[in-house]
Amino acid sequence: MYQDPLQSRLTPALVEAFQVLFEASVDPERIAFQATRPEFEGDLTVNVFPFLKVSGRGPEQTAQALGEHLQEHVSEVERFNVIKGFLNLVIADAYWIEYARQALERDILAFPATGSKVMVEYASPNTNKPLHLGHLRNIFLGYSVSRILEAAGHEVVKVQVINDRGIHICKSMLAWQRFGKGETPESSGIKGDKLVGKYYVEFDKALKAEVEDLVAKGSDREKAEKEAPILLAAQDMLRKWEAGDPEVKALWEKMNGWVYFGFEATYRRAGVDFDRNYFESETYVLGKQDVLEGLKKGVFYEKDGAVWVDNTAEGLDEKVLLRSDGTSVYMTQDIGTAIKRFEEYPGLSQLIYTVGNEQDYHFKVLFIILKKLGFPWADGLHHLSYGMVDLPSGKMKSREGTVVDADDLIDEVVQEARRTGEQLSKLDAFSTDEKDELFEMIGLAALKYYLLKVDPKKRMLFDPAASIDLQGHTGPFIQYTYARIQSVLRKAGSWTAQPLNVPLVAEELLVLKQLHQLPSALHEAAAKLDPSAIANQTYELVKAYNTMYQVLPIAKEEDTARRVFRLGLSKAVADAVRKAMWCLGIEVPERM
């Protein structure tokens, strides 16, 4: 498990202190550090209350004795103070200055290979509609987690499942057949996924009209909703697809092709990609044999001709895996797809599903089933569950065409970036193409950072205008700080780092402390699969740097040693910010 270099130095020193002072052995895993509270002097705090039995002394006496030992034997500890049972350690300037030198010379967010191979699944769209805001949280979350894991030393495989079969795509296909008059993306100028989504909405309109007509003629509404002619026709089309009807298959391939092309354009603009695509039209046949094998082994049981799994011992329900007619359910194909992935990628140690929290129960059941089937890798399955994302305008409904389209939302934040940038009037030296590229970069940073800075488990409200604020807790604020540092370094010309032999001032020290915490934040993000850990620590770092920039001269500092130290610290911050933002899938501009 990762431990930052300072804690790695202090932990064995504390173990030794307990042995020397109290003739007691303590487990190093029990020693926990936390940042000292701002109202007290110190950098790191140790809570000694858990160790009072082994010390045989009161909390203050225990903390005092430990502090004196560390101050005498550990060069990094300059002084200490005790508040009740809390030992607050002040770390010597020499340690921070040396850390600044190391950060200038190497990538502090690059870690040795772990030998672990991880698969991350994200996106997984349906081919009956374009991507929307909910997809964007999923995509940016999964893509960021894949990069965070890569930075932490794992080999990462990025995949998506494209849900390209089922009644939903048949609805779009049937509506296009009936109302489309041969319309294509080329003839209409409409992006392929949007065109297919348009006919999904048209189907719903036609279905509602038919239902109302049947009700007006005396039919029960529930019966009308099940027996509307257009719905029965869509169901018949699905049966023909499953039977391999050549005409239906040809239409399916054509319309799905439009959608794939549209998806790829959105992915490319959003700056995300995949190593492998899985298609539900191929995976839906998987899992049946695995379930039948489980039935033979007694893992599952048969009832009324269907195959079931009993998860009541795990606090869950019984679940059908194969219907009495031999057809599969979604769970069946997920079982088969998981098995296929571990066969295709030998040595895979973890499989992460980025899926909304409405599927929490589904994945609990899936993981239990795979464990019951005896797959050792089942312990490496993880559901990266996340909450819904809303806009001030309210909930999204794809069937009614009120979904917040991903492309439209990206356009909106880019235009918001353009309005903000042009108001600041600092872009006179930029060409039109350079401005367009910059506004695209800022808009995407605003969108991605706003979605990633929140704990994935939380439901959130996305505010496009607030996401652009150059002075707020936003991606553009971090980008602006990076560009500001690059400007400082360009204006400073050539310089050579030198040792600093004078005490650090408070603003320098704060920047160094925040920089020092960034690797730990990365490993926390990797361990918890939570990009908000590194997103928020990056914000704290740039906020501290901006304070230093406002208060202290950097390139204009008259003392040469101070000047080159601050320039070196600036570069180290910029390098770390660039890598941290890379982990979030965000680009940083050299000029703003």
What pLDDT is recorded for position 395? 44
End-to-end CA distance of the chain: 39
Q: What is the pLDDT of residue 1?
A: 62
Name which of 190, 166, 172 is nearest 242 in CA terms.
166
CATH number at residue 18: 3.30.1360.70
Segments forming the whole domain that contains residue 463: 407-583
Q: With contact defined as beta carbons under 8 Å apart, do 411 and 270 qualify?
A: no
* Identity of residue 298: G
d(CA 85, CA 49): 6
Short-list 134, 149, 72, CA closest to 396: 134
d(CA 243, CA 252): 13
CB neighbourhood size of 360 (10 A)? 12
Mean pLDDT, residues 236-242: 95
Distance CA 444, CA 433 (A): 17
What confidence tens digit (pLDDT) does each residue in 144-189 have? 999 999 999 999 999 999 999 999 999 999 999 999 999 999 999 9
Residues 544, 504 contacting (CB under 8 angstroms): no
Question: If you average pLDDT over residues 118-127, what whole number do you get?
Answer: 96
Could you give the C-alpha distances from 547 to 187, 387, 481, 543, 551, in angstroms and in order?
55, 34, 11, 6, 6
The string of pLDDT tens digits covering residues 60-90 is 999 999 999 999 999 999 999 999 999 999 9
Closest CA to 128 of 398, 396, 523, 338: 398
* Euclidean distance between CA atoms 535 and 525, whole angstroms: 9
| pLDDT one-digit tens code per residue, 435-458 | 999 999 999 999 999 999 999 999
Name the domain boundary from 91, 120, 147: 91
Give the Cα separation of 349 and 363 in Å (integer): 18
Average pLDDT over residues 106-135: 94
The amino acid sitting at 530 is D
Predicted pLDDT of residue 500: 84
**515 in a structural domain:** yes
Cα three-residue angle 38-44-50, rounded to 5 degrees: 110
At residue 397, the pLDDT reads 42
d(CA 14, CA 29): 12
Tell me what the mean pLDDT of segment 351-356 comes to.
98
589 located within any domain: no
Measured in degrees and rounded to the nearest 5, phi and psi for residue 381 equal: -90, 140
Q: Give the Å distances, CA to CA, from 509 to 42, 89, 500, 537, 562.
A: 12, 15, 13, 16, 13
| pLDDT score of 425 | 65
d(C-alpha 432, C-alpha 504), whole Å? 44
Coil, helix or strand at residue 47: strand
How large a percentage of the chain has pLDDT more than 70?
98
> Cα separation of 482 and 425, whole Å?
19
The per-residue pLDDT of the chain, averaged, comes to 94
Compute the distance between CA of residue 156 and CA of residue 145 in angstroms, rounded to an integer. 10
Give the pLDDT confidence score for residue 436 in this predicted structure: 94
Domain tally, the chain: 2
Residue 275's closest CA among 114, 110, 122? 122
Whether residue 318 lies inside any domain: the answer is: no
Q: Is residue 289 part of a domain?
A: no
> Residue 396 pLDDT > 70, yes or no?
no
Tokens of 516: 């020092």
Confidence check: pLDDT of 2 > 90? no
Side chain identity, residue 443: G
* DSSP-assigned states of every residue in 63-105: HHHHHHHHHHH-TTEEEEEEETTEEEEEEPHHHHHHHHHHHHH
pLDDT, tens only, 3-32: 789 999 999 999 999 999 999 999 999 999
Give me the pLDDT at residue 179, please. Answer: 97
Q: What is the pLDDT of residues 497-554, one digit of tens each?
A: 887 888 999 999 999 999 999 999 999 999 999 999 999 999 999 999 999 999 999 9
Is it the case that residue 424 has pLDDT exceeding 90?
A: no
Contact 235, 227 (CB under 8 A): no
Distances (CA, A) of 1 to 8, 14, 150, 322, 503: 11, 19, 16, 42, 33
**Is residue 402 scored above 60 in pLDDT?**
no
Q: Is 27 inside any structural domain?
A: yes
Confidence class for position 401, pLDDT limits 50, 70, 90: very low
Half-sphere exposure of 324 (CA within 13 A, CB side): 3
CA distances from 131 to 200, 398, 406, 506 (A): 13, 10, 5, 47
Residue pointed to by tokens 């001030």:
392
The Cα angle at residue 545 between residues 543 and 548, in degrees rounded to 5:
115
Query: What is the predicted pLDDT for the residue at 550?
Result: 97
pLDDT digits (tens, 9 = 90+) for 181-223: 999 999 999 999 999 999 999 999 999 999 999 999 999 999 9
Q: In this model, does residue 471 exceed pLDDT 70?
A: yes
What is the token pair recorded at 115?
């030998």
User: 3-state class of 406 per DSSP?
Assistant: helix
Which CATH number does the domain housing residue 564 bear? 1.10.730.10
Residue 399 has pLDDT above 70, yes or no: no
Burial of 560 (0-12, 13-18, 19+ CB in 10 A): exposed
What's the CA gap between 291 and 299, in Å, rounded? 9
Token pair 């997103």 in the structure block, residue:
535
Strand order in the sheet with 306-310: 301-303, 306-310, 318-322
* 240 domain residue, yes or no: no
Task: Indicate whether 304 belongs to any domain.
Answer: no
Q: In the sheet that 155-162 helps form, which strands lie side by side, from edge to edge? A: 276-279, 155-162, 117-121, 348-356, 381-386
| Residue 418 tokens, joined | 């353009």
Write down which residue in 91, 120, 151 finishes a domain.
91
Alpha carbon distance 223, 215 (integer Å):
9
Q: What percent of the chain has pLDDT over 90?
A: 89
What pLDDT was estimated at residue 271? 97
Other C-beta atoms lying within 10 Å of the C-beta of residue 68: 13
Identity at 432, one-letter amino acid code: T
Q: Which of 91, 110, 130 is the last residue of a domain?
A: 91
